[in-house]
Amino acid sequence: MNALLIGADYVEPIKEVLSSAGLNTVDHWTGRKPGDTRRSVPRDVDVVVVLTDYVSHPLMKKIRQDTNKLGIPVVFARRSLQDVREKVSAFAHRLPHAA
C-alpha cells in the first residue's frame, strides 16, 4: 500500500515505521512550504499520514477536503515514533487491501 506522509523535515525513522506496517511512502510534503496548501493529494495513495505538529490548519483543512473527495483514509499523529506506530496499527484494519 502507498502512503503520503505530510509534516516534519526529517522523516526517515517514520518511513521505517510505516514500512514495517506495510506502507510504502510514495511522497513526503514538509507542510511548511506556502505552496503545500495548493497541492492536491495524489490519487495513487491508499492512506495519508499527517504529522500534526508540523502542519498548518489551512493545510489540514485542504488535506481533509481532498481525502474526503477521493475516499482516502487519513491518520493524524504527532511526530513521535510511538504515536505513529500506535495510530497506524490501530487504523490498519480499516485500510483498503489490509491483510
pLDDT for residue 63 is more than 80: yes
The residues that bridge with 39 in the sheet, in sequence order, are: none
CATH number at residue 35: 3.40.50.11900
Residue 99 lies in a domain: no
- With beta carbons less than 8 A apart as the criterion, state whether 55 and 33 touch: no
Q: Which of 42, 44, 52 is nearest to 84 (CA)?
A: 52
How many structural domains comprise the chain? 1
> Do the domain assignments include residue 98?
no
Q: What is the CA 70 to chain-centroid distance, rounded?
A: 14
Answer whether residue 96 shows pLDDT above 80: no
| Per-residue model confidence as pLDDT tens digits over 3-33 | 999 998 888 999 998 888 888 887 899 888 8
Please say if the pLDDT value at position 80 is more than 50.
yes
